Structure 1
Amino acid sequence: MELGVLDMLQPPKNLKELTIHCYAGLKFSSWIRDPLFSNMVRVSLYNCTNCHLLPPVGQLPCLKELYISGMSAVEVVGPEFYGEGSLPFRVLEILKLSDMKHWEKWLPFDQDMESGVFPGLKFLSIQMCPKPGGKLPKKLNSLTTLEIVRCEELVVAIANHEQVRELKIDGCKAPVHSTTEVDLKLLETLCLSNILELRLQAGGFTKGLGKIKELTILSCQELTSSLKNEDRCFPHLISLVRLVVGDNSALVEDLGKELEGLLKVPILACKLEYLEINKCERLSKLPKGLHQLSSLQELHIWQCSRLVSFPDVGLPPSLRVLKITECDSLVYVSKYQIPRNLKKIHISWCGSLKSLVEEEELVGSSSSSFSLSLEHLEISVCPSLTSLSLRGQLYTALKHLEIFTSDQLELIAPDGFFRDNAL
């Protein structure tokens, strides 16, 4: 009955966008494949759970966006998808496939010779499709963004996508870097997370990341062991601006040792402005090499339960924002001084925190004191906090002070520390 209804709902030929949601028929109407729909630009198929085959939308001449989700009965994507005729998907730019629980095979286009299917595809996203084996289509020469999320059996050959600007691989079995020298000359954003296996030949991986600006590595233990075969990472990441490392204490320690080894050789080209470290449970102390990051503006640390203290050499002087959350073992932020140019501090849920600097009697006279640029100080749910004293540093620029659930706090600051401020 639903097929009959869909047949009678054939739209006018000038339709540009079509969405079919929760259709329960066993197959789609024949009018969907009709190339007479020459103006169709966008097609969305959602939760059509009884259809075993995708409609042959590949022959729609103006189709630029295709979204397919919840087609749980589909097992094979192949000829029926491409349609009969000339090269399919000639102008398609966006393709998103998601939540296809029984999809197992993606067959190539039989008549594909040299030009490749999807000649104009710019954005490809495949998510929550646990069974598709094999590899992605080759010759995606126009592809700029590739997202593969929770597709455990899909193998992604990194070397096949030299034109990609943004690459995200999450929860996949085996990304492959098969050549020693691949220049990912346009890649600016790379996110690797929950990688079960990583096949890298020795050397050459980080050397191809010279243009990368944003790098995220989450729960990739295999990546850590593979990078041991690489030469130093930081000298190659000359454009890196944002770095996030999560659930990988070993990688933070290795990068720290690398930075410490470069203490006598300044990283003049380092542009890193944002660093986030999260869920690194074995990390007890941040590396001294952190001070080498001379352009660092923001430092975010959360859920590092064994982190006790920051480096004795202090935080980078360029730091502007410091955010620390759920670090239960942290006792103090800095051994001696808070960076003078720091603008904002946010600390929450740190059960052992006693003070911002190591608790000692204030040293020196008021003449040796100097002003901080700190404007925003927020501390919440730190029950062991007793003092906000900063050992000779004055809160002269403070505008916002918020303290929440810090039961042991006795001293905010000695007389004179809030002198001439605009709180």
Structure 2
Amino acid sequence: MVNLRHLEFDDKCRSLKYIPRGLRQLCSLQTLFYFVVGDQRRRRRSGGIGELHGLNQLRQKLVIRDLRNVRDARDAEEANLKDKTELQFLILDWGYPGEYRRRRRRRVSSLEEHVLDNLQPHQNLKELIIKRYEGVKMPRWMLHSSYSLHGLPNLVELTIHECHNLKCLPLVGEFPCLRLLRLSNLEALESICNKVVMTEGGIDNNNNNEGRGRDERKPLLMVLFPMLQQLLLSRMPNLEKWTISVEEEEEAFLSSMFPRLIDLEFRYCKNLTTVPMFSVEGIQHLTSLRTLKLECLDKLVYLPDYPAPATLEMLHIIECPSLVRLPDCFFNNLKLLSEFKILRCSELTFLPEGIRHLIALKRLKIGKCSSLSSLPQGIQQLTALIDLDISSCPGLKILPEGWGGLSSLEKFEIEDCSNLSSLPEGIQHLCSLKTLKLRTCPGLKALPDGLGSLPRLGYLDIESCSNLLSLPEGIQHLPALYQLAIDNCPCLRSLPGGLENLASRGLLYFSNCPNLSLS
């Protein structure tokens, strides 16, 4: 057994409670994906985390579960992770605390900080996930510069999840290889801070240039997160700010940050007010950004008064109740934006005219923006728009005229817009429209005559338009119409003649229309 190289079982073995004593003797072991730290009740049979001590040939992935059962930080040091040079992917999971540990939270937090300090991995590590850690602060080896002997210069992915006591997260921004940073469910976290001191040899938090004259120093350029592509932050209700500060020498300056960032997502960070990328200066650095998703940011009042990156392809703004405006100039360069969603932004009163610049926009969804009173005239210039969805906007009374530019629109839905009084006559120019859905719009009494001129309209769905009196005569001549569905329109008394063909083929549906009869 001492020559055993592969011992394979994974995290699906949930019933596994501990690893037995003697594992440390398998010094040739290369594959051990899963290690469970046993609790005190199994102390005689379980060798504890120290069983990993001599297994320095381990490679690929290692999950260490139930680290809450480590009772002495020296045991964690004995695991000797820093000498496991072939390990690429490490998951450190403390597991779910019991009631006893909750009562001893302060003491447990201090212990776990020392345990994590002693679980320093080797510099070759590429992926690190820390889950359910109960410490208040991060380990020293994550605070060192990546250029020092104690950092993680090869780290590609970092995830910190469900660490409920963590209050401040100091990050060393110059991780040279980091491509994904995911922070989630950090309930106590109040701030993320990057604070670095630059020296001529690189960027360092501790080293200095003693003995080097000022005249010998060269100008220094610093790039924060030079390779980062995905930045995902979610469910941090107490997070207030993310700050980046540089203790600059006279000839040193921050040249760039997040230059390769592709996906940026902030979700359920209700108190977040300060983010470097949301400043006018910060957004200029996001030269590769393609996706921006902002959700449940209660204190977001506005976006930067500066053009968004021209590379942006998807923009979602969801449940930002304090957002009062979107700057016109923010949309100036968005020639590649294909999807724009703005939902549950109750203070937003209008969309900017800058929306006319979105010449590649294919999907526009506007919903539950209760103060929105109108749409911009620029909407008619969205020549690539395929899908337009407007819902739950009670302040919306009219739609702009001049829809001739929406030559690509195939699907148009309006729902729960109680004060919308009419549809624009320009709807007749929607030559590509295939689906039209009108639901819960009690202000509509009639539909425009141009509705009967739509050559490709195949599906017309009208529901809960309680004051609708009639349909335009032309709809019986729609060449592509294959289904007409009408529900809960009590004031509708008749349909235009010529629809018998649809009725005979079972493609005319109506219900809850007590006064409706065919002409």
| TM-score, normalisation: structure 1 | 0.77
Unaligned 5+ residue runs, structure 2? Answer: 1-14, 98-107, 196-222, 247-253, 483-519
Partner of 2:336: 271
Residue 189 of structure 1 corresponds to 263
Rounded Cα–Cα distance in structure 1 between residues aligned with 2:449 and 2:30: 67
Higher helix share: 2
Instruction: Note the C-alpha offset of 1:147.
Output: 1.5
Q: Deviations over 1:260-291 (max 9, x none)?
A: xx9xxxx4663222111122101233222222
The corresponding residue for 2:352 is: 287
SS of corresponding position for 1:205 = helix
Q: Equivalent residue of 1:175, what SS?
A: strand
Residue type at the aligned position of 2:244: H
- Residues 226/378 of structure 1: CA separation in 2 closer, same or farther (3 Å cut): closer
Alpha-carbon separation, structure 2, partners of 1:372 and 1:283: 31
CA contact (8 A) 2:29 2:55 kept: no
> What is the match of residue 139 of structure 2?
107
Q: Distance in 2 between matches of 1:216 and 1:141?
A: 25
**What's 1:142 paired with?**
177
Q: Are the aligned partners of 2:144 and 2:150 in contact in 1 as well (CA < 8 Å)? A: no
The structure with higher relative contact order (CA 8 Å, sep 6+) is 1
Structure 1 residue 312: Cα displacement: 3.9
Are the structure 2 counterparts of residues 383 and 393 from structure 1 closer, same or farther at C-alpha, using a change threshold of 3 Å? same
Equivalent residue for 2:244?
177
Q: 1:330 to 1:418 in 2, by over 3 A?
A: farther
CA distance, structure 1, for counterparts of residue 263 and residue 283 of structure 2: 13
Are residues 1:153 and 2:202 paired?
no
Post-superposition Cα deviations, 1:91-131, rounded to whole Å, max 9, x if no partner, equal: 3222222333x321222239987255323211111123243
Aligned-pair CA distance for 1:144? 0.4
CA contact (8 A) 2:37 2:48 kept: no
* Aligned counterparts of 1:290 and 1:161: Cα–Cα separation in 2: 31
Secondary structure at the counterpart of residue 143 of structure 1: coil
C-alpha distance in 2, partners of 1:106/1:21?
22
Q: Deviations over 1:386-410 (max 9, x none)?
A: 4453646733212334444444444
Q: Relative to 1, partners in 2 of residues 1:141 and 1:96: Cα closer, same or farther, differing over 3 Å?
A: same
Name the CA distance, whole Å, in 2 between partners of 1:15 and 1:89: 16
Deviation per CA, 1:133-189: give whole Å up to 9, x if none.
351356521100112224313524396312211112343332113366424321112
d(CA) in 1 for partners of 2:16 and 2:290? 50
Q: Does the 8 Å contact 1:297/1:320 carry over to 2?
A: yes
Give 3-state SS (helix, strand or coil) of 1:290's partner. helix
- Does the C-alpha gap of structure 1 residues 407 and 140 become closer, same or farther in structure 2, counting only changes over 3 Å? same
Q: 1:268 to 1:79 in 2, by over 3 A?
A: closer
Query: CA 1:269–1:321 in structure 2 vs 1: closer, same or farther (change >3 Å)?
Result: closer
Q: Give the counterpart letter for 1:286 in structure 2.
A: L
> In structure 1, how many angstroms separate the alpha carbons of the residues matched to 2:291 and 2:179?
15
Alpha-carbon distance in 2 for matches of 1:370, 1:196:
44
**Separation in structure 1 between the aligned mates of residue 403 and residue 432 of structure 2, nearest angstrom:** 13
**Residue-pair matches, total:** 396
Please tell me whether residue 239 in structure 1 is matched to residue 239 in structure 2: no
Instruction: Provide the residue aligned with 1:330 in structure 2.
Output: 396
Report SS of the residue matched to 1:64.
Answer: strand
Instruction: List per-residue Cα deviations over 1:354-412 (Å, max 9, x = no partner).
Output: 54x25xxx69xxxx954520123334455555445364673321233444444444444
Query: Which residue number corresponds to residue 91 of structure 2?
Result: 67
Q: Which moved more, 1:189-198 or 1:9-18?
A: 9-18
* Residue from 350, 362, 386 that aligns with 1:320: 386
Q: Which residue of 2 aligns with 1:85?
A: none
1:308-358 per-position Cα deviation (integer Å, ceiling 9, x unaligned): 331245442332111233333334444453723211223444444454x25
- Find the aligned partners of 1:218 and 1:51 in 2 and give their Cα distance: 38
Report if aligned partners of 2:440, 2:463 keep a CA contact under 8 Å in 1.
yes
Counterpart pick for 2:458 among 390, 399, 414: 399
Contact 1:200/1:226 (CA < 8 Å) preserved in 2?
no
| Contact 2:18–2:36 (8 Å) recurs in 1 | no
**Does the C-alpha gap of structure 1 residues 281 and 64 become closer, same or farther in structure 2, counting only changes over 3 Å?**
same
TM-score after normalising by structure 2? 0.64
Structure 2 residue 20 is the aligned partner of structure 1 residue 7 = yes
Measured in 2, the distance between the counterparts of 1:412 and 1:50 equals: 71
In 2, Cα distance between equivalents of 1:177 and 1:94? 24
Shift of residue 46 of structure 1? 4.5
